[in-house]
């Protein structure tokens, strides 16, 4: 089973905690790391913006990605949240097996 690292940024701790908890409780993620606040610079609708955000590192299986993306879109306050999925090409086999087991439907 393919493992993914999914990254999203949240506007505040409350949103980050709510999304992380919902994903783990629904078995859409085996684990979510809530990182410290970061400063983001980006262009939005032609204007350069700056915002503080809370990154989430979400470990899941490729099979659960579609449902995970749907859940983030439903829970996230932004119209177009950042959702990036990176394949995990290598990792401790026992850890990857745990991610797979914790995200079985």
CATH number at residue 21: 3.30.70.120
Range of the domain at 61: 3-102
Residue with tokens 């993306």: 69
Reading the chain (105 residues) residue by residue, the pLDDT tens digits are 899 999 999 999 999 999 999 999 999 999 999 999 999 999 999 999 999 999 999 999 999 999 999 999 999 999 999 999 999 999 999 999 999 999 998
Looking at the DSSP assignment, which residues form a beta bridge with residue 58?
6, 32
Nearest to 6 by CA among 56, 76, 42: 56
Q: What is the Cα–Cα distance from 89 to 4, expressed in whole angstroms?
A: 9
What are φ and ψ of residue 85, in 5° steps? -115, 125
Number of domains in the chain: 1
CB 62 within 8 A of CB 1: yes
């Amino acid at each position: 089973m393919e493992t993914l690292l999914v990254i999203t940024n949240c506007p505040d701790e409350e949103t980050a905690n709510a999304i992380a908890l919902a994903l783990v409780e629904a078995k859409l993620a085996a684990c979510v790391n809530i990182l410290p606040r970061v400063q983001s610079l980006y262009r939005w609708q032609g204007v350069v913006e700056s915002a503080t955000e809370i990154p989430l590192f979400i470990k899941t299986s490729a099979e659960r990605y579609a449902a995970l993306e749907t859940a983030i879109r439903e829970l996230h306050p932004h119209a177009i949240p950042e959702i990036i999925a990176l394949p995990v090409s290598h990792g401790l086999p026992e850890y990857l097996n745990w991610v797979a087991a914790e995200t079985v439907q």
